[in-house]
Amino acid sequence: MNEFPLISVLTFTPLLGAALLLLPGVGDKGRARGTALAFSLLTLVLAGGLWWHFDPAARDLQFVEKHDWIPSLHAQYFVGVDGLGILMVLLTAMVTPLALLASYRIADKGPAYYSLLLFLQAGLLGTFTALSFLHWFLFWELSLIPAFFLIKLWGGPRRSEAATQFFIYTMVGSISLLLAFLALYLTAGTFDFIELAAKGRSGELARLLSSKLPAGSWPALAREQLPLVIFAGALLGFAVKVPLIPFHTWLPATYAEAPTGVTMMLTGLMSKMGVYGFLRLLLPIFPDQMRLVLTPLLWLAVATIVLSAFAAFAQKDLKKVLAYSSINHLGYCLLGIFAVAKATGSDAQWTTEKTAALNGVLLQMFNHGLTAPILFCFVGFLEARSGGLRGLASFGGLRKVAPVFCGLMGIAMFASLGLPGLNGFVGEFLIFKGVFPLVTWAAALSVLGLLITAVFLLTVIQRVFNGPLNPQWTGLADLSRRELWLVVPATVLMLAIGLCPQLLIGHFNTTVMVMVEHLKF
């Protein structure tokens, strides 16, 4: 515990950058983006150091820092990472520089834009490393403020509605989450995730909940149902963030209106906050409750996968297509998580399946976090060239004028639809491998989603890249050197993970095994 406080330094580096950018002089025109980029790269280096020093075999949390914060509430400043945390930290550190790079076109952004982006990054890093509710919630909510302003001030024509919708939906979720955890605190007397999880596993939490909350307060409910209500509150918070259908309606508009760099952060990182919440909080703390309502939850996950795929298919706007496809991909994560929660007994076979599914979920989180932003980035490039047009029907035959662009974007598309050899395949494969034996019907239905995804992504490729060239775009420029710098490393990474997923899985496999062990019933 007396080591170098690497996580704190990591979290506060972007924050420092954000503050520095607001100082007069530092953030002058031209220099702002460079400064921001420098800070994000520094963060990446730190995250790399963290990854390097992380011991993949250790079962415990690493790089733990723990200090008293509000003694009267037993609230602590408590950070640390396990395989899940470090994966997310790495992803955040990688996507942020890309988002900064992708924002180069923004003319009147000035330092405020970059400052907010770094602020957002700090919020994300904090969320992925905090292990005590209050402290975690602080970052979880604080990341909303920069996101709100980034959309509000620099978004597309309907940015006001989008920003408001985004903020309010998320806040509704957050507040219900907060209320749920306050009730937990009241019964368990701690905000510590680890302790809460231990109490949740042993069933003590549910017992305390039904005994400590005043009896008769909700006459319509049986005592046993109280924990379920609390679970529902917490679930809502994460379900909005991921999002799970039917809490998704904020997402398409928001993704479509936000500037490209911000959409990358939103889809790549902020949506992961929701999945992360499921893994870090819901699954460990409420296993019993989750099991009680498993079937409806699975239905929701299936609906998310299938319906969003259909919705994406119906879209005319490239950004909206990607937005729905993003929902669709995260649906697989949720499917995996819910399936894992199923009561199966502790046979070795089930353990294997569950481990596979969870490994898939984590991998899928990372993959989607990498692929989806890059896709949005490509659409951003296209939009910048077309003067704001991004309709599916507005283009055609682009392959002829911009072969590099189409080639690289095509790779990303295939990664997204899960072509073997690219990163998307491994994650989805593992999820389905685990889920099929666990809940066959859900897996079978979800395959439909996979199918439609393939159909709509291919449609996009066909409508935009192939076909007769729309004469309007004969002068369309191919990727510039600067843009190549952005997308090439990401593409390389997609290939690398696709070919050698062990690079990542090796780091979180132990954590996943611990999680599955804890789930043994």
Partner 1 sequence: MLAWTVYISFLGVLALMLLPAGNARAARGVALVTALLGFLIGLVSAFGFAPERGIQTITRTAWIPGLGIDYYLAADGISVTLVLLTGLAAVAGILFSWNIEHRAKEFFVFYLALIAGVYGVFLSFDLFLLFVFYELAIIPKYFLIAIWGSTNREYGAMKLALYSFIGSAMVLVGLVAAYVTAGSKTMDLLVLAQYPFPPALQNWAFPVVFIGFAILAGLWPFHTWAPTGHVAAPTAASMLLAGVVMKLGAYGALRVAMTLFPLGLATWRNEIALLAVIGIVYGALVALVQKDFKFVIGYSSVSHMGFVILGLVTLNTIGMTGAVLQMFSHGVIAGLLFGVVGRMVYDRTHTRDLPELEAMRLNKALPFAAGTFAVAAFASMGLPGFSGFAAELQVLIGAWSAFPTYTVLAGVGIVVGVAYTLRVLQMAFFGEAPEPVPEAAHPLPPITLPERLGAVLLIATTVLIGLCPRLLLSLIGPSFQSPLFEHVLKGGNL
Choose the binding region for partner 1 from 211-219, 375-383, 387-395, 444-452 (rule: CB under 8 A): 211-219
Residue 142 as a binder of partner 1 (CB under 8 A): the answer is yes
Q: Which of 70, 458, 488, 496 binds partner 1 (CB under 8 A)?
A: 70
- Smaller CB distance to partner 1: residue 15 or 413? 15
Residues 507 and 484: their CA atoms lie apart, in Å, by 29
Choose the binding region for partner 1 from 214-222, 302-310, 446-454, 512-520 (rule: CB under 8 A): 214-222
Residues 280 and 324: their CA atoms lie apart, in Å, by 25
Residue 145 as a binder of partner 1 (CB under 8 A): the answer is yes
Q: Which of 63, 78, 119, 185 binds partner 1 (CB under 8 A)?
A: 185
Q: Which of 134, 430, 439, 486 binds partner 1 (CB under 8 A)?
A: 134
Determine the length of the chain. Answer: 521
Q: Which of 2, 72, 387, 471 binds partner 1 (CB under 8 A)?
A: 72
Choose the binding region for partner 1 from 9-17, 163-171, 346-354, 470-478 (rule: CB under 8 A): 163-171
Minimum distance between the CB of residue 17 and partner 1, rounded to whole angstroms? 18
Judged on CB neighbours under 10 Å (0-12, 13-18, 19+), 520 is middle
Residue 24 as a binder of partner 1 (CB under 8 A): the answer is no
- Smaller CB distance to partner 1: residue 42 or 144? 144
Residues 329 and 371: their CA atoms lie apart, in Å, by 11
Residues 202 and 260: their CA atoms lie apart, in Å, by 45
> What's the number of CA atoms in the CB half-sphere (13 Å) around residue 158?
11
Residue 478 as a binder of partner 1 (CB under 8 A): the answer is no
Minimum distance between the CB of residue 287 and partner 1, rounded to whole angstroms? 22
- Smaller CB distance to partner 1: residue 64 or 179? 179
* Residue 349, phi then psi, degrees to nearest 5: -60, -45
> What's the number of CA atoms in the CB half-sphere (13 Å) around residue 267?
36
- Smaller CB distance to partner 1: residue 61 or 144? 144
Going by C-alpha positions, the residue among 410, 428, 409, 408 that lies closest to residue 418 is: 428
Q: At what angle do helices 83-102 and 6-22 cross, to 10 degrees?
A: 20
404, 479 in Cβ contact below 8 A?
A: yes
Location of structure tokens 């009561």:
343
Residue 168 as a binder of partner 1 (CB under 8 A): the answer is yes
Residue 19 as a binder of partner 1 (CB under 8 A): the answer is no
Minimum distance between the CB of residue 382 and partner 1, rounded to whole angstroms? 26
C-alpha triplet 420, 423, 424: angle, nearest 5° = 75
- Smaller CB distance to partner 1: residue 96 or 174? 174
Residues 412 and 300: their CA atoms lie apart, in Å, by 28
Choose the binding region for partner 1 from 36-44, 45-53, 169-177, 294-302 (rule: CB under 8 A): 169-177
Residues 334 and 338: their CA atoms lie apart, in Å, by 6
Task: Write the DSSP assignment of 101-129 as a string of letters.
Answer: HHTTT-STTHHHHHHHHHHHHHHHHHHHH
Choose the binding region for partner 1 from 137-145, 308-316, 360-368, 436-444 (rule: CB under 8 A): 137-145
Residue 49 one-letter amino acid: G
Residue 218 as a binder of partner 1 (CB under 8 A): the answer is yes
Q: Which of 175, 447, 495, 513 binds partner 1 (CB under 8 A)?
A: 175
Choose the binding region for partner 1 from 28-36, 66-74, 86-94, 344-352 (rule: CB under 8 A): 66-74
Residues 98 and 92: their CA atoms lie apart, in Å, by 10
The residues, any chain, with a CB within 8 Å of residue 175's CB and separated by 6 or more, are none
Choose the binding region for partner 1 from 113-121, 178-186, 270-278, 453-461 (rule: CB under 8 A): 178-186
Residues found near partner 1 in the complex (CB under 8 A): 69-73, 134, 137-138, 140-142, 144-145, 148-149, 152-153, 160, 163-164, 167-168, 171-172, 175-176, 178-179, 182-183, 185-186, 212-214, 217-218
